[in-house]
């Protein structure tokens, strides 16, 4: 068993990275930044300027904003100023109401909101909000994490400035992980220390079930559950249950439903993909509550481990990471040990590496479903002792090196892809 001081560090890491969120986290983080700047200003702003990194812009262009029936950043910015509370963090807009939405529309019509790309920055997650009223102004900057404020000022008074690359606090919070350590923690930590992860089941399963009752996005979850054509081809079994629950929760979230989900590493979709396949498999196969708890920890912590070297935002679709976690969790529930979990990771990397992120949007449900179907296949292969070998592609004998190869492709090799994707998205014509 891992020693208690290190267990406490890992638990603190999970609790930082696995948190509730309402709405797509990129526009919600923008709303959070505007809310903080507005609070710092101390009054309703007359003008709001927002400067964003390309990845934030990409992920906020085509996604629904909770409770608004609207898409994109302007309404998120307006609501952040009108009703946002920074103390709510990724639930910053949970007090939204129809009156606030109407007021937000009027703000947009008055053209007091300006949104621009932040030039000449390397940080992929960067949000700067400047709110002004008369001669007063307030600035808030989020960088490196969706709720990580690094700078706050009012007029000439600097209230916070943590813009150095790596503060002592951030270094202290970093936990060195390997897949072996992730597995050992998940399978040996005292149960009472990790039962908190079951809240992810409650939130994300509720999101899926509420989605089944409505019509959200492309309705992929409802289709996979109710379509006779689907049942004729794929049947009614654990596999189709996994796909329908996962895609349903994503349908609702990307459509802007006012439904909280448990996120992972700043992404609600990643939280959904790391949670629901594991939950559905455990429930369909009557695994114990302890087995489910440990499988969820294994899934979420694997995703966190991979994201440590990939970064918060990249050109790589986050479902690759989260579905790798759920493949590990499912493998564990199937009775697999560390060897089989390692096989599952290798199989996932060999299959899904290179899937691009072209922004948050309703069709993310299709990508999530592709990732999760691969997660199940990879787990089945692993339990049959089948694993992609080191002579194939980017896979190496050491699974941690394979993970680094995956994240290097996503964080370095696909940078030009990322730029091209954003260029296509910002110049295409929509009817």
pLDDT tens, position by position, 307-351: 999 988 889 999 889 999 999 999 999 999 999 999 999 999 999
For residue 180, pLDDT over 90 is answered with yes
Find where tokens 């993970």 sit: 403
Ramachandran class of 20: left when φ > 0, alpha when ψ lies in -120 to 50, beta otherwise: beta
Of 33, 55, 37, which is closest to residue 315 (Cα–Cα)? 55
Residue 169's pLDDT band (boundaries 50, 70, 90)?
Answer: very low
Q: What is the 3-state secondary structure (H, E, C) of the chain?
A: CCCHHHHHHHHHHHHHHCCEEECCHHHHHHHHHHHHHHHHHCCCCCEEEEEECHHHHHHHCCCEECCCCEECHHHHHHHHHHCCCHHHHHHCCCCCCHHHHHHHHHHHHCCCEEEEECCCCCCCCEEEEEEEECCEEEEEEEECCCCCEEEEEECCEEEEECCCCCCHHHHHHCCCCCHHHHHHHHHHCCHHHHHHHHHHHHHHHHHHHHHHHCCCCCCHHHHHHHCHHHHHHHCCCHHHHHHHHHHHHHHHHHCCCCCEEECECCEHHHHHHHHHHHHHHHHHCCCCHHHHHHHHHHHHHHHHHHHHHHCCCCCECHHHHHHHHHHHHHHHHCCCCHHHHHHHHHHHHHHHCCCECCCCCCCHHHHHHHHHHHHHHHHHHHHCCCCCCCCCCCCCCCHHHHHHHHHHHHHHHCHHHHHHHHHHHHHCCCC
For residue 354, pLDDT over 60 is answered with yes
Q: How far apart are CA 346 and CA 356, in angstroms?
A: 19
For residue 35, pLDDT over 70 is answered with yes
Q: How far apart are CA 292 and CA 17, in angstroms?
A: 19
pLDDT in tens, 277-317: 999 999 999 999 999 999 999 999 999 999 999 988 889 99
For residue 24, pLDDT over 60 is answered with yes
| Exposure string over 73-92, b if 16+ CB within 10 A, otherwise e | bbbbbbbbbbbbbbebbbbb
For residue 173, pLDDT over 80 is answered with no
Residue 164's pLDDT band (boundaries 50, 70, 90)?
Answer: confident
Q: How far apart are CA 401 and CA 407, in angstroms?
A: 10
What value does the mean pLDDT take over residues 119-127? Answer: 92
Quote the percentage of the chain above a pLDDT of 70.
98
pLDDT in tens, 382-393: 999 999 999 999
What value does the mean pLDDT take over residues 28-51? Answer: 97
In angstroms, how far is CA 321 from the centroid of its own chain?
10
For residue 172, pLDDT over 50 is answered with no
Question: How many Cα atoms sit within 13 Å of 56 on the Cβ side?
Answer: 33
Please report the domains of the chain, with CATH numbers, ordered by start residue: 24-168 (3.30.1330), 175-427 (1.10.4100.10)
* Average pLDDT over all residues of the chain: 94
Write down the pLDDT at residue 166: 55
Give the Å distances, CA to CA, from 354 to 56, 277, 285, 328: 20, 22, 32, 20
Contacting residues for 72 by C-beta, under 8 A, at least 6 apart: 27, 60, 61, 62, 63, 65
Contacting residues for 365 by C-beta, under 8 A, at least 6 apart: 217, 218, 220, 221, 247, 250, 251, 254
Token pair for residue 5? Answer: 């001081």
Write down the pLDDT at residue 251: 97
Residue 167's pLDDT band (boundaries 50, 70, 90)?
Answer: very low
Nearest 10 degrees: CA dihedral of 334, 337, 338, 343? Answer: -50
For residue 431, pLDDT over 70 is answered with no
Centre a 10 Å sphere on the Cβ of residue 356 and count the other Cβ atoms it contains: 16
Write down the pLDDT at residue 165: 62
Nearest 10 degrees: CA dihedral of 20, 24, 30, 33? Answer: 0
345 contacts 179 by C-beta, under 8 angstroms: yes
Of 37, 90, 93, which is closest to residue 70 (Cα–Cα)? 93
Residue 187's pLDDT band (boundaries 50, 70, 90)?
Answer: very high
For residue 402, pLDDT over 90 is answered with yes
pLDDT in tens, 88-103: 999 999 999 999 999 9
Residue 170's pLDDT band (boundaries 50, 70, 90)?
Answer: low
Token pair for residue 313? Answer: 């935002």
Q: How far apart are CA 388 and CA 402, in angstroms?
A: 11
For residue 171, pLDDT over 60 is answered with no
Contacting residues for 157 by C-beta, under 8 A, at least 6 apart: none
pLDDT in tens, 220-245: 999 999 888 888 888 899 999 999 99
Give the Å distances, CA to CA, from 291 to 282, 285, 295, 383, 428: 8, 11, 6, 17, 48
């Amino acid at each position: 068993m891992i020693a208690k001081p290190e267990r406490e560090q890992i638990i603190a890491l999970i609790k930082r990275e696995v948190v509730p969120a309402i709405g797509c986290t990129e526009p919600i983080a923008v709303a959070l930044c505007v809310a903080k700047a507005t609070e710092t200003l101390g009054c309703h702003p007359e003008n709001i300027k927002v400067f964003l990194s390309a990845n934030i812009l990409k992920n906020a262009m085509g996604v629904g904003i909770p409770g608004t029936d609207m898409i994109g950043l302007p309404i998120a910015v307006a609501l952040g100023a009108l009703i946002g509370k920074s103390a709510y963090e990724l639930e910053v807009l949970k007090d939204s109401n129809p009156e606030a939405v109407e007021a937000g529309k009027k703000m947009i019509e008055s053209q007091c909101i300006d949104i621009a790309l932040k030039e000449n920055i390397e940080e992929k997650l960067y949000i700067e909000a400047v709110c002004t009223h008369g001669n007063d102004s307030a600035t808030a900057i989020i960088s490196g994490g969706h709720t990580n404020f690094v700078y706050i000022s009012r007029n000439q008074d600097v209230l916070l400035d943590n813009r150095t690359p790596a503060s002592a606090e951030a270094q202290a919070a970093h936990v060195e992980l390997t897949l072996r350590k992730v597995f050992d923690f998940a399978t040996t930590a005292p149960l009472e220390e990790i039962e908190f992860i079951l809240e992810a089941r409650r939130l994300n399963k509720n999101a899926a079930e509420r989605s089944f009752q409505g019509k959200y996005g492309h309705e992929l979850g409802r289709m996979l559950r109710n379509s006779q054509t689907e049942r004729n081809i794929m049947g009614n079994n654990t596999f189709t249950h996994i796909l329908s629950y996962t895609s349903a929760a994503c349908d609702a979230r990307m459509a802007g439903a006012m439904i909280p989900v448990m996120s992972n590493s700043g992404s609600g979709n990643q939280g959904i993909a790391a949670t629901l396949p594991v939950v559905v498999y455990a429930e369909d196969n009557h695994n114990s509550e302890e087995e489910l708890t440990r499988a969820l920890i294994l899934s979420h912590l694997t995703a966190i481990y991979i994201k440590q070297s990939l970064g918060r935002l990249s050109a790589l679709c986050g479902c690759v990471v989260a579905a790798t976690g759920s493949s590990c969790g499912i493998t564990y529930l199937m009775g697999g040990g560390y060897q089989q979990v390692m096989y599952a990771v290798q199989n996932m990397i060999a299959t899904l590496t290179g899937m691009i992120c072209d922004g948050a949007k309703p069709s993310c449900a299709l990508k999530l479903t592709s990732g999760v179907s691969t997660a199940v296949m990879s787990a089945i292969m692993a339990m049959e002792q089948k694993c992609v070998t080191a002579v194939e592609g980017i896979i190496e004998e050491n699974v941690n090196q394979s993970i680094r190869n995956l994240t290097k492709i996503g964080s370095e090799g696909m940078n030009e892809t990322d730029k091209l994707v954003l260029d296509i998205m910002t110049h295409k014509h929509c009817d």
